[in-house]
Structure 1
């Protein structure tokens, strides 16, 4: 298990991005959250296997409405939490 903080930029607000992240993360049994930022980016912290996280990114990159221009990824310490949430 790993935890990553990812900051997505591009067309990621107003297109169902956080809801898509939440659906995929919950479907794969991952935990964490997705949050809109004031600069138009979206921050996602997700905990799961590296393969699960890579699959999540792959699914997001092939969505018809989402257009990811950049992803800043940072590995973090694991946290105890339950489920995946949408914040702000």
Structure 2
């Protein structure tokens, strides 16, 4: 089980990014949250297996209008008993 804090840059707001993140996280059994930031980026904390986190990020990037130009990634300590994935 891993948890990561990820900031996505590029065309990531107003393109269905958070909706795709919630859908993909549910599909791959991940927990955490996603939110738009004031600078046009999107931040996310996501928890699950390394493979499921990779699958979620891949699914988000396949969005029709989503263009991820870069990501900043930090590993975090997993959160015990977290349930669900939400938009903040």
Distance of 2:29 and 2:56 partners within structure 1: 12
Count residues with an aligned counterpart: 87
Q: Which runs of 5+ in 1 are unaligned?
A: none
**Consecutive aligned runs of 4 or more in structure 1 exceeding 6 Å deviation:** none
State whether residues 20 and 59 of structure 2, in contact with CA within 8 Å, keep that contact through their aligned partners in structure 1: no
Counterpart of 1:47? 47
Distance of 1:65 and 1:9 partners within structure 2: 13
1:68-79 equivalences under 5 Å are: 68-79=68-79
State whether residues 26 and 85 of structure 2, in contact with CA within 8 Å, keep that contact through their aligned partners in structure 1: yes
Q: Which runs of 5+ in 2 are unaligned?
A: none
State whether residues 20 and 60 of structure 2, in contact with CA within 8 Å, keep that contact through their aligned partners in structure 1: yes
Distance of 2:19 and 2:56 partners within structure 1: 12
TM-score by length of 2: 0.94
- Aligned to 1:58, the other structure's residue is in SS state helix
Distance of 1:82 and 1:11 partners within structure 2: 29
